[in-house]
Structure 1
Amino acid sequence: MRIIIVGGGIGGLALATGLRRQEFDVQVFDRDLDVANTGGYHITLDGRAQAALRELVAPEIFERLLASASALRLRPPDALWDRHGRLLGYGPHLGDSPSVDIDRITLRTVLADAVGADLHLGRTVTEIGRATDSAPMAVFADGPPVRCDLLVGADGTHSVVARQLAGGPTSEPTGIIGFSGRTAADSIGAPERQRLGARSGMAVGPRATALYVGFLDPVGNAVLDVPGRREAITTGPTYIWGAMFPESAVSDSMRGLHGDALRTALLAAFRRRGWGERSLEVIARADPDSIAAFRFNAASTRSHDLAPWPAGPVTALGDAVHATPPTAGMGAGAAIRDAAGLVTQLRTVADGTTTLAVAVSRFEADMRLRGSEVLHQAMKTVRWIQLTDTGLGAAATGAVIPVLAAANRLGRRR
């Protein structure tokens, strides 16, 4: 069986790695010229995602990944702040958490190494065609089409493959624009570094403004203490943050900015909405070249809306099917679990116990449930933020949050 994967992101590379281990004939085509050409931010892999990854990659590859990851169990509980940096409360203890954080670039490059020569960069797929025997073909912007027995779209939120299968987009904008960046912990003043601590936190303000500040330290909070195998691009304590604004003419115009200009505009946008300077220091001290803008897109949370096409020799996975905002930190993990599920089903085709159509149908049924689950989690936070953009929501945010902050201060004094 010859398999083509369109898209060399995390889901596509994880799938290719798993298929190669099972000795399938697989080729991956991606439009990027460099696998490191991706957001330099971090993703969270929960226990289920790690179990799937362990099935897909060789033990030495899995060890390389864990040696480059940061353990959540070594962090204090997450914090919730108001826009002035006043503490509202803490999340649950993380001591029993199996989850790990890892740089997206690190994960993608290690998986690409595992795929090896089967990954073809600089190849843009423009559509899915059919050969004379109805077998699927990948049609490229340049070069002849390539025929296969199964074609898998792992080409992200704006997937060419899934759009063609569904007859239209498989996700839509949520109304929130995100901005993300990286800030070395030692570049922040001591008072703010002490306030933020070695934890992740979230601050929410009125009018759908929010700031998530994640903490990543693959050295101090290493999952595996194997320095010789560590490949993380983050080499010291780092705050990796994400700012959120409602989509508007102003936020849309900011998406066209870069570097210092984007950082300056971002700080100004927060200040216009009454955010305190203390909360903004992590942005003000960020590496300007790390700051990027992106739109929050989401698929339907209803499982029957996902992958709305008959099962056949063309399918898709990950964000191509269940595009998930980053507010739950589960999108990449879900794509990895999709990949493991598809490999499991294709093994039944290889051993002759089922047909390709049945295997793909079973895979898509499981993927719909998985995608709906992670979307429900991610959209809870999105909807909470959106509620603050109403008149009542803004008033409630402005009135209730200071009371919560005061109550928290009093509670800590007792």
Structure 2
Amino acid sequence: MRVAVVGGLALGAGLRRGGYEVSVFDRDIDVSATGGYHITLDERAQSALERLVDPAIMRRLRASGSALRLRDRDALWDRRGRVLGYGPDLTGSASIDVDRITLRTLLAEAVGDDLHLGRAVSGAGRDELGRPRVVFTDGSSVAADLVVGADGTHSVIARHLAQGPTNRPAGIIGFSGRTRRADLSSDEQQRLGERSTMGIGPRGTALYVGFLDPVGNAALDAPELRMSITTGPTYIWGAMFPDTAGTQSLRDLCGTRLRAALLDRYRAHQWSDRTLEVIARANPSSVASFRFNAASTRATDLAPWNASDITALGDAVHATPPTAGMGAGIAIQDAADLITQLDAVVGGTTTITDAVGSFESRMRQRGSEALTTAMKTVRLILWTDTALGATATRIITPLLATTARFRR
């Protein structure tokens, strides 16, 4: 069976390992040319990945990952930096955080010569024999037995299948950056600790600060295998504001100008300077913007097409805001599940269409669950941008902070 994959390094790696004839086409010319943020892989995602890549690559991934079990409990705080509450005990967690660049580099290595970079896709269709094909922007095309779009939120393949977009803006624009822990004051290092935190303020302002330390908190103690781009304790943060014309204008800025504009925006909403130190001392070149997009939380709305020999997975189908930290992990599970269904085709017990139908049914449910989790936080942030929500946030957060202080 020949499979053409658009994007989808994890799927390509798994198909190659499974003995399929696969070609992976990616518009990027360098797999490492991506944002410097991190990806969370829970136990289910890691189990799926073990199906897709060789054990040696999994060992290198875990040697380059930051183990959540070695972190402090996550915390929720207000715009003054006062703790409102803590997350669950992470001692028994199998989850890891890994640099996005590290993960993509390892997956590209697993795909090997079947990866074709610099191939931008313009659409999908069928050749003269009725086989599905991928059409490229240069006018060329490639036919296969199965075409899979794993090309992200703005997927060309999923749009072809759905005859329109598969997601829409979620109402938030995010800005991300990286700050070395050593660059913060000792007081702020102590306040943030070795944990991930979320700060909530009125008028849709929020700030996520994730802690990443693939060296000190390595999931696998094997320094000789480590290839993380993060080499010391680092905070990878995400600033969030309502998706308005004013916020949109910030996306035209970069570097120090963007960093300064973000600080001004928070200060206008009376965030204290200590909560903003992680932004003020960030590496200016790391600061970037992105819009939150989301598919429907209803499983019946996802993949709204009849099963065939063209399909899609991951964010192409169930675009998930980063507020749940599940998007990449769910896409990896999609890839492993699709290969399981295709194995039955190779074994002669089903057809491609039926295998794809079974896969899409399971994907809808999996995507719906992840989206439901992610949208809870999105809706909370947007609720604080209402008159009632803003007033309630100003009144309630000091009370929660006082309660949390007494509990400690």
Separation in 2, partners of 1:274, 1:109 = 41
Deviation at 1:87, TM superposition (A): 1.1
The one-letter amino acid of 1:343's match is: I
Q: Distance in 2 between matches of 1:47 and 1:348?
A: 25
Match of 1:216 among 176, 197, 212: 212
Answer yes or no: is 1:63 the counterpart of 2:50.
Answer: no
1:180 aligns with 2:189: no
Paired residue type of 1:88: L
Q: CA deviation at 1:22?
A: 1.0
CA distance in 1, matches of 2:64, 2:94: 15
Q: Which residue of 1 aligns with 2:190?
A: 194
| Structure-2 separation of matches of 1:155 and 1:55 | 21
- Residue 408 of structure 1: aligned partner: 404
Match of 2:356 in 1: 360
Name the counterpart of 1:347: 343
Q: Name the CA distance, whole Å, in 2 between partners of 1:34 and 1:411.
A: 50
Letter of the 1:213 counterpart: V
SS in 2 for 1:376: helix
Alignment correspondent of 2:26: 30
**Tell me, what secondary structure is at the counterpart of 1:179?**
strand
Deviation at 1:72, TM superposition (A): 0.4
1:49 to 45, 48, 71: 45
Letter in 2 for 1:84: R
Shift of 1:411: 3.2
- Secondary structure (helix, strand or coil) at the match of 2:161 reads helix
Identity, % of aligned positions: 65
1:307-326 alignment, distance < 5 Å = 307-326=303-322
1:389 is aligned, of 385, 390, 404, to: 385
Determine helix, strand or coil for the equivalent of 2:291: strand
Matched, 1:129 2:125: yes
- For the pair 1:79 / 2:75, whether they are aligned, the reply is yes
- Tell me how far 1:103 sits from its aligned partner: 0.5
- 1:95 corresponds in structure 2 to 91
SS of the residue corresponding to residue 26 of structure 1 reads: strand
Alpha-carbon offset, residue 38 of structure 1: 1.1
Q: Which amino acid aligns with 2:235?
A: Y
Deviation of 1:322 after TM superposition, in Å, equals: 0.1
Q: CA deviation at 1:250?
A: 1.3
Specify the code of the residue in structure 2 equivalent to 1:100.
I
CA distance in 2, matches of 1:314, 1:129: 9
CA shift, 1:133, in A, is: 1.5
Within 1, Cα distance between the matches of 2:96 and 2:394?
Answer: 35
Secondary structure, aligned partner of 2:235: strand
Distance, in Å, in 2 between the alignment partners of 1:227 and 1:407 is: 43
CA distance in 2, matches of 1:119, 1:144: 17
Query: Which residue of 2 is the match for residue 263 of structure 1?
Result: 259
* The one of 227, 232, 248 aligned to 2:228: 232
| SS of residue in 1 equivalent to 2:110 | helix
Q: Deviations over 1:357-389 (max 9, x none)?
A: 110000000000000000000001001111101
Pairs within 5 Å for 1:368-379: 368-379=364-375
Could you say which residue in structure 2 is the equivalent of 1:4?
Answer: 4
Structure 1 residue 408: deviation in Å? Answer: 2.2
Amino acid at match of 1:334: I
- Structure 1 stretches lacking a partner, 5+ long: none
Q: 2:288 aligns with which of 288, 292, 306?
A: 292
Q: Distance in 2 between matches of 1:5 and 1:161?
A: 10
1:170 partner SS: coil
Query: Take 1:22 and 1:97, find their aligned partners in 2: how far apart are those partners?
Result: 30
Task: Report how far residue 241 of structure 1 moved.
Answer: 0.5
Shift of 1:248: 1.0
Q: Work out the CA distance in 2 between the residues paired with 1:378 and 1:408.
A: 25
Cα deviation, 1:209-252, whole Å, max 9, x if unaligned, reads: 10000000001101110001000000000000101000111110
Which ranges of structure 2 fall in alignment gaps of 5 or more residues?
none
Counterparts of 2:42 and 2:357 in 1: how far apart (Å)? 26
Task: Give the match's secondary structure for 1:389.
Answer: coil
SS, match of residue 151 in structure 1: strand
- How far the C-alpha of 1:143 sits from its partner, in A, is 5.0
Partner Cα distance (2:15, 2:28) in 1: 22
2:124 & 2:406 partners in 1: Cα distance? 62
Tell me whether 1:335 sits opposite 2:320 in the alignment.
no
Report the Cα offset of residue 172 of structure 1.
0.3
Q: Give me the whole-angstrom Cα distance separating, in 1, the residues matched to 2:137 and 2:367.
A: 30
Secondary structure of the structure 2 residue equivalent to 1:137: strand
> Which secondary structure state, in structure 1, belongs to the residue aligned with residue 69 of structure 2?
helix
Describe the SS at the equivalent of 1:203. strand
Look up the SS of the partner of 2:382 in the other structure.
Answer: helix
Query: Residue type matched to 2:311 in 1?
Result: T
Task: Name the SS for the 1:27 alignment partner.
Answer: strand
